[in-house]
C-alpha cells in the first residue's frame, strides 16, 4: 500500500510543483504572493475542457490552446490589476489580487454553470501494474511531462537571455534596467510562464477529478504551502516543496484520514511559517 | 566618577561575508552627549540598529544600565528607556503633529482595551497628563502652533524636530539621534536642533548622536567616537579626537596627506585637450529639497576627475544625474558632443558611459559570467561573446571564477566584477560611485589598480570618493564639494595645497 | 414582515460585521479573509446553545462572540507575526477549513442540512419575534459596536492601531508591540462578527454552511472597501449598499443562481476598480502611504 500511496504522492506532487513554481516566480519579480494564481489553474482546466469536449478539438491541441490563452490571461491580469499598483502600498495590491481571484472564480461559475463536467475520456483507462503499484498511462504522462516542463524551465532561466533578464529583475530591478533589461517585459513574461505552468497543473488535476469552478482555491492554497516549504522565491525549492507536500498529503490520507487532508495542509503551512518561514532550502544570500 | 549608561562590548556584525562592525567596544556616559562620526559605510547606522534591537549582532554584547539588551525586540528596548530617530524622516504622515507626539508616548491605561472602552477615570487622567506634556514638548521644539497640522505638510527641518519631539516624549534615559546633512536646510535649523539637544541633556538624559557636521560635533559633544570600516579608531574628548592624526588621515582629510602620497607611485598624467563630458549648472531636488545646485564640471578625454567632499554634499547625486538615475531639475549634460540631459540609464549606457554603483550591486545569485551577460544585455549574440572575451582577458581572475555565483566572491573581486560589467559595452567614460566603500584596504588597492589600468587604456573616469588620499592619488583634477554644490576645483596638486592652507576639513 | 424591514435588519447585521472587519483591516491594516468563519462560529454557537441547551439569548449571543474571538486567536497567534500576504493566505485556509468543519462535524452542526428551527431571541421573558422588535435589537447591538469602534478610534488605542498600519518600524521604535495589537484588533473584529452571526441565526431561524464561505468573507470585505477603509460610517454605508444591491438585481429578473454568481463577479470588479482608482473608498477613509 505504501508504494501506491507514494506513487499517488508523486502525481499530486508534480501538480503542486508546477503551480508552486508559478507562485515563486511571480514572488521573485514582484515580491508579492499572487493571490489569484490558483484561479489561473482553474481557467486552464476549463478552457481545455471547452476546446476538447465542447468544440471537439483533439486533446493535445486543446491543451496547447488552453495554455496559450491562459498565459495571455495571466499577463493581462497583471497589466490591468497589478501594474497600475506597482508603487502602491502592499495592502492595496493584495486587495486587488483578491478581486481578480474573485472575478475569475465566479466568471468560470457563470459561464460553465453547475453541471458536473469532466476532462476525462469516456473509456476507462487501462490500468497497468508493476511492483504492486497500479497506474495508468495518463498518470505516467502527467509525471513525465511535469518533469520535462520543469527541466525546460530550468534551461530557459539559466541559458537564455530572457531567462537571465527575469532573474536579474528578481534580484535588482533598478540595476537590471540600467543595462537595458526591460523590467516590465520581464514581469509580463514571468506571468506568462507562471500562468502556463498553472494551466498545466489545472489540466492535470482535471484528468483525475471532475471540474469544479472552486477547484482553484484549495489548489492555490496547497501550492502556496508547497512554495513556502521550499522557500518562497526559490524555484528548485518550489519543486521540492511540491513533491514533499504531495507525498505527505497522500501518506496522511492513507494512514490517518482523507477527510482532514486539507486541515493537515493548513497545519503544515502554519508549522512552516512559525518554525522556518524561509523554507527548507536556505537561499544563497551574497 | 562618570556613570556609564550604555556599554558596547566586542560587538561584531557580519552580513553575508561583509563585516559591518568589527569588535567594537565603547561606553556612553550618563547625562552626556556622545557623538559618533565616521565616513559612509563605517557601520554607524548598523550600530544604532543593533542597540535599538532592529538587528541581532553576530557576536558581542550591549548592556544598558547594567542589563543585557542585545537580541531583545525593538519595542522592549524602547520600553526600557531608549528612544531613537531615523536617518530618513519617519513620521505618521497622516496624523497631526500633536497626534504624532501623543501616539509616541508611553501609556499605562490608554493602551488597554478595557479602559479605552469604558473611558475610566484613570484613562482620562492619563490622557490629560500626556496632553499637557505633549504641549510642553512641542513648545520646546517650537512646533506648538503647528500642532493641528498634518505631519506630511511640515517642512523637512520641522519634520526632523517632530521626530526628536516624539522620541523625547517617551521620557527616554538614552536618546539615539541621527542627524543627516542635507543641503538647503537653513543654518538656523541646525542651531535649533543643537539647542534642543542641549536642553535634553540638561534634563539629565544621555544622548548618542550620529553627526556629520564637524562644527556641531565640536560644539556640543562631551565625547566623540570615530568609526571607520567597522572599527572604532578613536574615542575621547572632542579636542583630542578631532586632532588625532589617525582620524584625520583616515577620514577627515588633512594637511598631512603629502607624507602618504609620497609612498604611492606617480599615477598622474597629462590629459588630452578634448572635453568628453560637460555638466552645466546642474540642479537636482529630492522631495522638494535642493540636493545640489549650480554644479559645473568638465571631464577631458582620458582624464580622471575626482569628486570629494563631505557626506550628503551631492557628489553621488551628481553622478546619478549624469547617468540618468535621477532627473535633473535644471541644467544640462553633454557627452561626446551630444546632449544627454534627462536620458534614461539604458540610453546613457548605449551612448558610451559605464557606471559602477555604490555598494557594487552585482547580482549575487547569478554567476560571474551571467553578471557580465546582463552588462552586455543590449549586445547581439556575436558581440556579446566578443565583449566577454575582451573582459575576461582583462580580468583573468574573473575568468577563473566565471561559473561561481557572484555572491561567493570576495569584496575586492565583487568590485572587480562590477567594473567588468560596466566595461561590457566598451564605454569611453566610466563613473565610479564610492569604489572603496565597505572594502578592506587590500581590496581597495586592487580596485585602484584596476582604475589605474583603465586610465592607461585611455578611458575617461569620474570617481566619487570619500577617501581623500586615494582620490588625490589617482586623479588629474579634483572637484571639492560643500553641502549642496561645488566649493572649489583644480588639479590634484592645487587642491592639496588649498586644503592644507585653509585647514578645511572634508569628510 | 415587510420587505424593507428585512433589508434594514440584514443591513444592520452586516454593518456589525463590517465595523468589526473595519477595526481589523481598516484601522490596523490586518487583511483577513476569515471573517465569514467568525460569523459562522458565532451563528452556530448561539443557535446550538439556545436550541439544544436552552440557554437564554443574551448568554448565547455573548458566547457566540466570545467563541469567535477565541478562535481568531487560534489562527492569529502563529501567523500574525508574518508578512501580510502570508497571513492573508493563512486566513483563506482557515476559512476553508472552518467551512469544511461546518460541513463534516455532523454530530455538532448537522452538516450540510444545517440547523433548523432556531428560536427567536427572548430577553427577560419577552420574545422578540416581530420585524420592528428585531430591528430594534439589531440597532442596539449595532450602536454598541459603533460606540466601541468610535471609542477605539478616538483614543490612544486606536492611534496605535493606525500607527502600526502606517509604519510598523516606527511603531516598534516607540515601544508598541505590533503583534499584540494586531491580535487584539483581530479578536475584536471576530467578537463583533460572532455577535452578528448570532443575530443572523436567530433572525433567519435557519443556518447552513453555505452562508459561511470565502465568498461571504469577500462580500464583507467589499463593504469596507466601498465605504472607505477606516471609516465607521463608511462601513455602515458599504453594508447598506451591498445588502440592497442583490435586491435590485432581483428586479432585473435574472435567475437566482446566476444573479448570485454575477454579484460575486461585480464584487471582484469592485475591489480591483476601487484599488486602482479610489483606494480611499467612497467616503474617503484612510489614505494608505505610497511606497517607494
Choose among B154, B128, B442, B459: nearest CA to B276: B459
Do C175 and B90 count as a contact with CB atoms less than 8 A apart? no
Query: Looking at beta carbons, which residues of chain C come within 8 Å of A106?
Result: 261-262, 264-265, 268
Is A144 domain-assigned? yes
Reduced to 3 states, what is the DSSP secondary structure of residue B435? coil
Looking at chain A, which residue has its C-alpha nearest residue C94? A266
Contact A90 C78 (CB under 8 A): no
Which residues in chain A are contacts of B364 at CB distance < 8 A?
A: 171, 284-286
Q: How many helices (H) and strands (E) does chain C have?
A: 12, 2
For B250, which DSSP code?
I
Distance CA B193, CA B206 (A): 15
Which residues of chain C lie closer than 8 angstroms to A90, CB-CB? 84-85, 291
- Compute CA distances B429 → A118, B316, B355, B416, B473, whole Å: 64, 16, 9, 17, 19
Report yes or no on C276 lying in a domain: no
Residue C170 has pLDDT above 90, yes or no: yes
Q: Measure CB to CB from residue C258 to each of A93, A110, A217 and give the nearest one.
A: A110
Distance from CA of A79 to the nearest CA of B (A): 23
Based on the fold, state whether residues B246 and B224 are members of the same structural domain.
yes
Cβ separation B346–A286 shorter than 8 A = no
Tell me which DSSP letter residue B470 carries.
H
Q: In what order do the strands lie in the sheet with B330-335?
A: B289-300, B275-286, B330-335, B338-339
Do residue A95 and residue C31 have CB atoms under 8 angstroms apart? yes
Residue B89 forms part of a structural domain:
no
Across the range C241-248, mean pLDDT stands at: 83
In this structure, are B162 and B182 located in the same domain? no
Measure in Å the smallest separation between the Cα of B173 and chain C Cα atoms: 14
Whether residue B338 is contained in a domain is answered as: yes
Query: What distance in Å separates the CA atoms of residue B360 and residue B351, rounded to the nearest whole number?
Result: 22
pLDDT band at A122; cut points 50, 70, 90: low
Contact list in A for residue B14 (CB cut-off 8 A) is none
Query: What domain count does chain C have?
Result: 1
- Residue C131 CA to residue A69 CA, distance in Å, equals 51
d(CA C284, CA C292): 22
Q: How many CB atoms lie within 10 A of CB A82?
A: 24
- Whether A98 and C270 lie within 8 Å, measured CB to CB: no
Chain C interface residues (partner B, CB cutoff 8 A): 148, 151-152, 155-160, 162-163, 166-167, 169-178, 184, 188, 286-287, 289
Q: Are strands B174-178 and B33-37 parallel, antiparallel or unpaired?
A: unpaired
Signed CA dihedral, A51, A55, A58, A61: sign only: negative
Using a CB–CB cutoff of 8 Å, tell me whether B92 touches chain C: yes
Nearest CA in chain A to B14: A286
> C interface mutation test: which of A34, A76, A89, A257 has the most C CBs within 10 A?
A89
B302 shares a domain with B450: yes
C-beta separation of A269 from A285 below 8 A = no
Cβ of B349 and A179 within 8 Å? yes
Give the pLDDT of residue B165: 94
Question: pTM of this prediction?
Answer: 0.85
- Residue B92 inside a domain? The answer is no
* Cα A116 to chain centroid, rounded: 23
Please report the DSSP string for B270-285 in residue order. PPPS-EEEEEEEEEEE
Q: Which of residues 141-180 of B touch C (CB under 8 A)?
A: 166, 170
Please report the pLDDT score of residue A137 as a whole number: 83
- Which residues are CB-contacts of A186 (< 8 A; sequence separation ≥ 6)? A29, A162, A165, A166, A168, A169, A176
Q: How far B349 CA sits from the closest chain A CA (Å)?
A: 7
Q: Which of B152, B171, B190 marks a domain boundary?
A: B171
Burial class (CB in 10 A: 0-12, 13-18, 19+), A115: exposed
Pairing of strands A127-130, A133-136: antiparallel
Query: Is C184 close to B113, i.e. CB distance below 8 A?
Result: yes
A284 at the B interface (CB within 8 A)? yes
User: Residue A279 has what DSSP assignment?
Assistant: -
Print the domain residue range for C103: 3-214
Give C160 to chain B, closest Cα distance, Å.
Answer: 6
DSSP B146: G
Considering only CB atoms, which chain B residues are within 8 Å of A171? 363-366
Q: Residue B457, SS3?
A: coil
* A193 vs A186: CA distance, rounded Å: 11
The β-bridge partners of B278 are B298, B334
User: Which pLDDT belongs to residue C254?
Assistant: 67
- pLDDT greater than 80 at residue A209: yes
Residues of chain C found within 8 Å of residue A221, distances taken between Cβ atoms: 89, 92-93, 96
Question: Do B342 and B265 fall within a single domain?
Answer: yes
Report how far residue B63's alpha carbon sits from residue B51's, in angstroms, rounded to the nearest whole number. Answer: 9
Quick one: pLDDT at residue C263?
85
Name all chains with 3 or more CB-CB pairs below 8 Å to chain B: A, C
Whether the CB-CB separation of B81 and B45 falls below 8 Å is answered with: no
Burial B329-338 (b: 16+ CB within 10 A, else e): eebebbbbee
- CB contact under 8 Å between B377 and A179, yes or no, is yes
Distances (CA, A) of C213 to A115, B269, C39, C257: 20, 77, 10, 16
Alpha helices by DSSP H, listed for B302-440, are 315-323, 345-351, 368-375, 381-394, 396-400, 411-423
Give B355→chain A minimum CA distance, Å.
Answer: 9
Same domain, B412 and B371: yes
Instruction: Specify if C228 maps to a domain.
Output: no
Same domain for B277 and B313: yes
- Contacts of residue B398, defined as CB under 8 A and 6 or more positions apart, other chains included, come to B368, B372, B391, B392, B413, B416, B417, B420
- Mean residue pLDDT of chain C comes to 89
Taking contacts as CB-CB distances below 8 angstroms, the residues of chain A near B363 are 167-168, 171-172, 175-176
Q: What is the mean pLDDT of residues C174-200?
A: 96
d(CA B439, CA B490): 28
Tens-binned pLDDT, residue by residue, of chain B (507 aa): 578 999 999 999 987 667 889 999 999 999 999 999 887 777 899 999 999 999 999 999 999 999 999 999 999 999 999 999 998 889 999 899 999 999 999 988 887 888 888 888 888 889 999 999 999 999 999 899 999 999 989 888 889 899 999 999 999 999 999 987 665 566 777 888 889 999 999 999 999 999 877 778 888 999 999 888 788 888 999 888 877 766 665 555 432 333 333 333 333 444 445 789 999 899 998 777 788 888 888 898 888 999 987 777 788 899 999 999 899 999 999 998 889 998 999 899 999 999 999 888 899 999 999 999 999 999 999 999 999 999 999 899 999 999 999 988 888 889 999 999 999 999 999 999 988 887 777 888 888 999 999 999 989 999 998 878 788 888 888 888 877 777 777 778 777 776 666 554 443
Torsion of CA C126, C132, C138, C143, to 10 degrees: -110
Number of domains in chain A: 1
The residues with which B334 forms a beta bridge, in sequence order, are B278, B339
CB contact under 8 A, A284 and B405: yes
Total of domains in chain B: 4
CATH (domain of B345): 3.40.50.300
A42 part of a folded domain: yes
**Residues B183 and B155 both lie in one domain:** no
What pLDDT sits at residue B268? Answer: 42
Residue from the list A35, A99, A221 with its beta carbon closest to the beta carbon of C275: A99
> Same structural domain for residues B161 and B245?
no
Reported ipTM exceeds the 0.95 cut: no
Mutate to test the interface with A, among B94, B320, B350, B363 (most CBs of A within 10 A): B363
How confident is the model at residue B484, as a pLDDT?
77
Answer yes or no: is B507 within a domain: no
Chains near A with 3+ CB pairs less than 8 A apart are: B, C
Q: Which residues in chain C are closer than 8 Å to A261, comparing Cβ atoms?
A: none
User: Is A114 a residue whose pLDDT tops 60?
Assistant: yes
For B24, phi then psi, to 5°, come to: -95, 130
Q: Which helix (H) or strand (E) holds B160?
A: helix B156-168
Residues of A in contact with C230 (CB under 8 A): none
Measured between beta carbons, which residues in chain B are less than 8 angstroms from residue C289? 93-94
Residue B435 sits in the same domain as residue B345 = yes
| Chain A residues touching residue B402 (CB < 8 angstroms) | none
Nearest CA in chain A to B425: A179
CB nearest C176 (choices: B52, B75, B93):
B75
- Choosing from B252, B287, B305, the residue where a domain stops is B252
Restricting to B residues 52-91, those with a Cβ less than 8 Å away from any Cβ of C are 52-54, 73-75, 78-79, 83-84, 86, 90-91
Contact list in B for residue C158 (CB cut-off 8 A) is 116
C14: in domain = yes
Residues of chain B neighbouring A164 (CB-CB closer than 8 A)? 366, 370, 373-374, 377
Query: What residues of chain A lie within 8 A of the CB of B376, using their CB?
Result: 179
Backbone angles phi, psi at B95, to 5 degrees: -110, 160
| Contact state of C174 with B104 under an 8 Å Cβ cutoff | yes
CA distances from A244 to A8, A103, A142, A153, A247 (A): 12, 31, 17, 20, 5
Expressed as residue numbers, the domain containing A50 is: 13-216
Question: Which chain C residue is nearest to residue A264, measuring alpha carbons?
Answer: C97
Q: Do C159 and B113 touch (CB under 8 A)?
A: no
Q: How many CB pairs under 8 A join A and B?
A: 68
Higher pLDDT, C3 or B417: B417
Residue B461's domain comprises 257-352+428-502
Q: Do C170 and B92 touch (CB under 8 A)?
A: yes
Of B134, B152, B171, which closes a domain?
Answer: B171
- On chain C, the residues whose CB falls within 8 A of the CB of B123 are 155
> Closest to B363 (Cβ–Cβ): which among A161, A168, A285?
A168
pLDDT of residue B248: 62
Amino acid at each position: 500500500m505504501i508504494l501506491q500511496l507514494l506513487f499517488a504522492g508523486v502525481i499530486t506532487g508534480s501538480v503542486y510543483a508546477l503551480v508552486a513554481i508559478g507562485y515563486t516566480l511571480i514572488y521573485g519579480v514582484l515580491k508579492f504572493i499572487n493571490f489569484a494564481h490558483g484561479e489561473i489553474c482553474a481557467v486552464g482546466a476549463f478552457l481545455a475542457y471547452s476546446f476538447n469536449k465542447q468544440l471537439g478539438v483533439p486533446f493535445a491541441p486543446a491543451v496547447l490552446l488552453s495554455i496559450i490563452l491562459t498565459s495571455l490571461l495571466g499577463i493581462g491580469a497583471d497589466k490591468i490589476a497589478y501594474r497600475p499598483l506597482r508603487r502602491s502600498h502592499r495592502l492595496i495590491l493584495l486587495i486587488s489580487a483578491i478581486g481578480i481571484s474573485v472575478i475569475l472564480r465566479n466568471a468560470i461559475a457563470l459561464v460553465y454553470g453547475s453541471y458536473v463536467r469532466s476532462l476525462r475520456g469516456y473509456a476507462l483507462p487501462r490500468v497497468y501494474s508493476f511492483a504492486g503499484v497500479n497506474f495508468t498511462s495518463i498518470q505516467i504522462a502527467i509525471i513525465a511531462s511535469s518533469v520535462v516542463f520543469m527541466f525546460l524551465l530550468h534551461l530557459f532561466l539559466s541559458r537564455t537571455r530572457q531567462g537571465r533578464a527575469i532573474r536579474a529583475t528578481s534580484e535588482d530591478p533598478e540595476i537590471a534596467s540600467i543595462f537595458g533589461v526591460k523590467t516590465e517585459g520581464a514581469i509580463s513574461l514571468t506571468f506568462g510562464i507562471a500562468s502556463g505552468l498553472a494551466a498545466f497543473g489545472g489540466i492535470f488535476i482535471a484528468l483525475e477529478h471532475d471540474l469544479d469552478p472552486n477547484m482553484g482555491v484549495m489548489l492555490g492554497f496547497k501550492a502556496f504551502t508547497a512554495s513556502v516549504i521550499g522557500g518562497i522565491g526559490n524555484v528548485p525549492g518550489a519543486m521540492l516543496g511540491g513533491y514533499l507536500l504531495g507525498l505527505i498529503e497522500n501518506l496522511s490520507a492513507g494512514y490517518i484520514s482523507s477527510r482532514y487532508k486539507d486541515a493537515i495542509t493548513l497545519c503544515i503551512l502554519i508549522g512552516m511559517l512559525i518554525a522556518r518561514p524561509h523554507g527548507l532550502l536556505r537561499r544563497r544570500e551574497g | 566618577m562618570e556613570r556609564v549608561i550604555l556599554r558596547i562590548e566586542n560587538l561584531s556584525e557580519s552580513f553575508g561575508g561583509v563585516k559591518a562592525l568589527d569588535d567594537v567596544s565603547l561606553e556612553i556616559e550618563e547625562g552626556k552627549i556622545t557623538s559618533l562620526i565616521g565616513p559612509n559605510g563605517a557601520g554607524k547606522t548598523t550600530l544604532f540598529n543593533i542597540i535599538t534591537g532592529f538587528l541581532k549582532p553576530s557576536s558581542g554584547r550591549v548592556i544598558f544600565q547594567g542589563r543585557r539588551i542585545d537580541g531583545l525586540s525593538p519595542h522592549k528596548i524602547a520600553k526600557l528607556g531608549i528612544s531613537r530617530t531615523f536617518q530618513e524622516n519617519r513620521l505618521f504622515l497622516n496624523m497631526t503633529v500633536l497626534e504624532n507626539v501623543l501616539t509616541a508616548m508611553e501609556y499605562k491605561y490608554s493602551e488597554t482595551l478595557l479602559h479605552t472602552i469604558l473611558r475610566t477615570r484613570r484613562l482620562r487622567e492619563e490622557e490629560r497628563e500626556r496632553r499637557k506634556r505633549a504641549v510642553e514638548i512641542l513648545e520646546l521644539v517650537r512646533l506648538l502652533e503647528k500642532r493641528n497640522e498634518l505631519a506630511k505638510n511640515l517642512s523637512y527641518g520641522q519634520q526632523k524636530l517632530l521626530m526628536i519631539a516624539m522620541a523625547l516624549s517617551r521620557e527616554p534615559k538614552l536618546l539615539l539621534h541621527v542627524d543627516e546633512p542635507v543641503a538647503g536646510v537653513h543654518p538656523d535649523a541646525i542651531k535649533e536642533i543643537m539647542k534642543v539637544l542641549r536642553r535634553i541633556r540638561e534634563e539629565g538624559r544621555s544622548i548618542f548622536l550620529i553627526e556629520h557636521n564637524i562644527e556641531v560635533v565640536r560644539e556640543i559633544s562631551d565625547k566623540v567616537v570615530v568609526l571607520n570600516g567597522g572599527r572604532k579608531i578613536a574615542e575621547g574628548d572632542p579636542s583630542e579626537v578631532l586632532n588625532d592624526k589617525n582620524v584625520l588621515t583616515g577620514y577627515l582629510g588633512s594637511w598631512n596627506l603629502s607624507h602618504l602620497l609620497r609612498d604611492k607611485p606617480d599615477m598622474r598624467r597629462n590629459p588630452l585637450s578634448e572635453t568628453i563630458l560637460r555638466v552645466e549648472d546642474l540642479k537636482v531636488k529630492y522631495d522638494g529639497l535642493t540636493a545640489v545646485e549650480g554644479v559645473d564640471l568638465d571631464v577631458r578625454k582620458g582624464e580622471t576627475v575626482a569628486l570629494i567632499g563631505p557626506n550628503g554634499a551631492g557628489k553621488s547625486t551628481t553622478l546619478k544625474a549624469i547617468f540618468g538615475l535621477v532627473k535633473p531639475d535644471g541644467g544640462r549634460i553633454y557627452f561626446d558632443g551630444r546632449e544627454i540631459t534627462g536620458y534614461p540609464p539604458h540610453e546613457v549606457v548605449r551612448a558610451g558611459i559605464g557606471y559602477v554603483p555604490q555598494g557594487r550591486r552585482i547580482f549575487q545569485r547569478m554567476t560571474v559570467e551571467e553578471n557580465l551577460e546582463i552588462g552586455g544585455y543590449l549586445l547581439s549574440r556575436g558581440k556579446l561573446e566578443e565583449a566577454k572575451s575582451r573582459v575576461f582577458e582583462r580580468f583573468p581572475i574573473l575568468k577563473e571564477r566565471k561559473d561561481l555565483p557572484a555572491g561567493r566572491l570576495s569584496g575586492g573581486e565583487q568590485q572587480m566584477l562590477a567594473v567588468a560589467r560596466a566595461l561590457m559595452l566598451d564605454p569611453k567614460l566610466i563613473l565610479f560611485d564610492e569604489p572603496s566603500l565597505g572594502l578592506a584596504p587590500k581590496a581597495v588597492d586592487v580596485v585602484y589598480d584596476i582604475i589605474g589600468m583603465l586610465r592607461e587604456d585611455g578611458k575617461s573616469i569620474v570617481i566619487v570618493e570619500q577617501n581623500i588620499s586615494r582620490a588625490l592619488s589617482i586623479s588629474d583634477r579634483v572637484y571639492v564639494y560643500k553641502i549642496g554644490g561645488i566649493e572649489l576645483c583644480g588639479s590634484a596638486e592645487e587642491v592639496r595645497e588649498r586644503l592644507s592652507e585653509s585647514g578645511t576639513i572634508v569628510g | 414582515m415587510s420587505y424593507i424591514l428585512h433589508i434594514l435588519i440584514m443591513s444592520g447585521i452586516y454593518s456589525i460585521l463590517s465595523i468589526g472587519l473595519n477595526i481589523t483591516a481598516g484601522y490596523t491594516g490586518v487583511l483577513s479573509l476569515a471573517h465569514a468563519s467568525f460569523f459562522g462560529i458565532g451563528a452556530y454557537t448561539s443557535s446550538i446553545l439556545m436550541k439544544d441547551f436552552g440557554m437564554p439569548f443574551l448568554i448565547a449571543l455573548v458566547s457566540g462572540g466570545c467563541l469567535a474571538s477565541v478562535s481568531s486567536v487560534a489562527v492569529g497567534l502563529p501567523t500574525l507575526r508574518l508578512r501580510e500576504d502570508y497571513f492573508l493566505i493563512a486566513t483563506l485556509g482557515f476559512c476553508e477549513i472552518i467551512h469544511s468543519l461546518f460541513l463534516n462535524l455532523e454530530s455538532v452542526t448537522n452538516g450540510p442540512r444545517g440547523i433548523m428551527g432556531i428560536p427567536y431571541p427572548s430577553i427577560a421573558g419577552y420574545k422578540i419575534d416581530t420585524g420592528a422588535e428585531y430591528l430594534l435589537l439589531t440597532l442596539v447591538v449595532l450602536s454598541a459596536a459603533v460606540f466601541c469602534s468610535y471609542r477605539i478610534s478616538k483614543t490612544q488605542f486606536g492611534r496605535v492601531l493606525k500607527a502600526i498600519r502606517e509604519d510598523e518600524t516606527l511603531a516598534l521604535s516607540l515601544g508598541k508591540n505590533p503583534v499584540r495589537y494586531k491580535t487584539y484588533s483581530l479578536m475584536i473584529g471576530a467578537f463583533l462578527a460572532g455577535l452578528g452571526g448570532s443575530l443572523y441565526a436567530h433572525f433567519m431561524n435557519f443556518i447552513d454552511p453555505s452562508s459561511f464561505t470565502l465568498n461571504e468573507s469577500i462580500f464583507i470585505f467589499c463593504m469596507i472597501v466601498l465605504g472607505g477603509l477606516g471609516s465607521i460610517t463608511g462601513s455602515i454605508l458599504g453594508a447598506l449598499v451591498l445588502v440592497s444591491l442583490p435586491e435590485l438585481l432581483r428586479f432585473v429578473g435574472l435567475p437566482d443562481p446566476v444573479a448570485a454568481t454575477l454579484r460575486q463577479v461585480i464584487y471582484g470588479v469592485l475591489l480591483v476598480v476601487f484599488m486602482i482608482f479610489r483606494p480611499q473608498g467612497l467616503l474617503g477613509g484612510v489614505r494608505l502611504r505610497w511606497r517607494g
